[in-house]
Structure 1
């Protein structure tokens, strides 16, 4: 591994992109303002026991009102790219039909502020917050969502395509299908393995259809989709564990990228996926594919799995990092920079992928806040180690073109509420005061090439 005290911004090249990533529902707040409709997370959060500590995103980081100062922080820290998502519920409160002009106006102000500061705006069309009006109609289980999503995308490109070049269609669709519709840990809280297949197929169709809409309406667009990826190890060399690891890899890393590349679903490693054919219509195999300009690779941890007879269909279970005597984050996720290197090398093998952007990477730790200073030495080390891993892969020929840190500031972390802090900036959620953490200061120095350790 490249020595972390030797890396510099210059090592990545002058055309390497550096930025931060955010998501609308996690930072905006203002859930009842300016015509925004309810989304599935608004409803989910009101159910007892679904969100840690009963937290809600009613105010979140109040980014809706504070985006000016927050974007000025982005600029001051030296980032040139800002990734944010569009709230479908803020744009089209009913999911389809009437468009909310005040929603368009907000994102226009946000985009124009980015541009005035010399920051390139990156739009994510869908980052998990589905209009509740569509959820009532079946949400991602309803085939009509392909049409709804295409229409929503057309509204976005018509409103913002004159100034925004970089687009990400979906964020981590596997999380939507697995956590939202199978285990019920995320909104909308549906449970049942038979929800999984139609949701996967409709997400994969929308992933490609969204790309086509952008390509047709935005000149010189740079189009990608963001896949959550984890390097998967087998717990042992036992053939059953090895097969379990291949199934896990098919689910976590191959399920959405391979259809987009025209390779179909990974039924070779996970035969259960053959049953998705019952949801496919004539022409769907071709409609799943789209020639993306880049793939957003998002990596937070590696996974070790073993065979299990207690988990029907997948026949595997994860061996938690907390039981393997390895470094972990505050969320119990393994800290393994070599996993980042390995998954980049794995994706390099897809010859159909043109470029890779690390569109999310970061960690939650228990920050030490005192006297307006935030010490987060573990996060500083995390970024140093993971950037060194990315650099190693890049030096070996992986065409990785950029890095977007997760995330700008502490926020509403989905089912974890406000208890998990990933930010480079500490947020006091009562006062909304922002304090740049030591990790943010380190990255500022790194980007301005004033220090590397």
Structure 2
């Protein structure tokens, strides 16, 4: 008992140290944004390289696979175009392109730093992980839809992959953004350019490509006006995204289960970029916000269908070397907080101890890993029966008094908000009365 308490105390001290370290890093990141403007400033390339070099020095004897950036599309578009994510800037039509330009340069510099200083003694690999949804033409006989679907993928995955593998942005991005910039009366394209030296420096800086893939869209041609006030990353593409209402949508509003798109995306990468080594870094599905159902049949079906399409792509000759289910645990999901659950394990965030409960998909994924393939039907039926029993007992625990949960929310969020608004409204009303008297 005493030794266990000592272990818990050490774990608590370790967590505290990690918390302090993370807070310190957040403070440093805040300074980089406030002092330099974040990824809008070219100086970030050197700052990031210094950080990466420190990581190579401290951890390179143990870490052999390095990912410079995960999902830079979200950093650029949702950080500097729409403002949905940190740092929350809305620099439409320019911010995302500039941020991406500097991120690509930073990635290349880090790759070269590792290649020249560390690869010889550490024998590791450096890559990048890019998000990529597949775009399928609405009408496969319509050339405009085919071209629009191509633009969708090139403006998404190709935006970062094409410079890294070929040295420059996709031609379709240069054409469309350049033409719209001219129509808006601008002297140069809103899409930055790489010098010949930079193209050579960036090209080939990828030992492996990480792919984060979740869903697919139908794409059709749509012409947007080219006025300067309406310019944005999204209107530059001249396309519209559609979904089939028959596609399953178990969780996040943007995530539909479309397995066949995964195989097509992987084959696109093979064709476009010389069949690089691919590690699928993210693939999974969420569930409804308040769901506490542990028998997640829809997630099992998603993983079965998507991994099956990945296996087909491997038979097509795509060089997939690894796959990671997203994710192990329910977690903090961008601006959605804890409301969207991607985990194989349910985490009860209302409990201060954050207990974890295995969902039925845990057993399915465990079987895939242990047998290096899909389990046979008898095995599936056997663990499914056990999962139903587990779900029944666990759900009773998880379905904690909803009224209590609601009252906690009202007490902790709604009441203070209402009080604050009441005070502000009272102050405004008082100022109005005083002005009328004067």
Taking structure 1 as the reference length, the TM-score comes to 0.68
The one of 314, 317, 326 aligned to 2:237: 314
The one of 20, 34, 41 aligned to 1:34: 20
Counterpart position of 2:86: 187
Give me the whole-angstrom Cα distance separating, in 2, the residues matched to 1:157 and 1:172: 21
The one of 372, 392, 397 aligned to 2:317: 397
Counterpart position of 1:47: none
When residues 445 and 248 of structure 1 are mapped into structure 2, their CA distance, relative to the original with a 3 A threshold, is same
Whether contact under 8 Å (1:355, 1:399) holds in the other structure is yes
Gaps of 5+ in 1: 1-27, 39-88, 95-130
Whether contact under 8 Å (2:270, 2:319) holds in the other structure is yes
Counterpart position of 2:137: 234
Counterpart position of 1:444: 366
Counterpart position of 1:434: 356
Whether contact under 8 Å (1:240, 1:306) holds in the other structure is yes
Give me the whole-angstrom Cα distance separating, in 2, the residues matched to 1:410 and 1:272: 40
Is residue 2:227 matched to residue 1:300? no
Whether contact under 8 Å (2:329, 2:346) holds in the other structure is yes
Give me the whole-angstrom Cα distance separating, in 2, the residues matched to 1:144 and 1:302: 36
When residues 173 and 205 of structure 1 are mapped into structure 2, their CA distance, relative to the original with a 3 A threshold, is same
Give me the whole-angstrom Cα distance separating, in 2, the residues matched to 1:260 and 1:278: 15
Gaps of 5+ in 2: 1-13, 179-188, 225-233, 381-438
Give me the whole-angstrom Cα distance separating, in 2, the residues matched to 1:194 and 1:286: 24
Taking structure 2 as the reference length, the TM-score comes to 0.70
Give me the whole-angstrom Cα distance separating, in 2, the residues matched to 1:404 and 1:282: 37
Shift of 1:269: 5.2
Number of aligned residue pairs:
333
Give me the whole-angstrom Cα distance separating, in 1, the residues matched to 2:16 and 2:76: 27
Which is richer in strand? 1
Whether contact under 8 Å (1:212, 1:290) holds in the other structure is no
Give me the whole-angstrom Cα distance separating, in 2, the residues matched to 1:278 and 1:343: 26
Is residue 2:47 matched to residue 1:133? no
CA RMSD in angstroms, aligned pairs only: 2.5
Counterpart position of 1:362: 284
Correspondence list, 1:4-403, <5 A: 33-37=19-23, 89=25, 93-94=27-28, 131-136=29-34, 137-191=36-90, 192-215=92-115, 216-218=117-119, 219-236=122-139, 237-268=141-172, 271-274=175-178, 275=189, 278=192, 280=194, 283-310=197-224, 312-319=235-242, 321=243, 324-332=245-253, 333-366=255-288, 369=292, 374-403=294-323
Give me the whole-angstrom Cα distance separating, in 1, the residues matched to 2:194 and 2:23: 31
Give me the whole-angstrom Cα distance separating, in 2, the residues matched to 1:300 and 1:411: 17
When residues 276 and 204 of structure 1 are mapped into structure 2, their CA distance, relative to the original with a 3 A threshold, is farther
Shift of 1:140: 0.6
Shift of 1:294: 1.1
When residues 302 and 387 of structure 1 are mapped into structure 2, their CA distance, relative to the original with a 3 A threshold, is same
When residues 317 and 183 of structure 1 are mapped into structure 2, their CA distance, relative to the original with a 3 A threshold, is farther
Shift of 1:278: 4.6
Which is richer in helix? 2
Q: Which has the larger radius of gyration?
A: 2
Shift of 1:442: 1.3
Shift of 1:387: 0.9
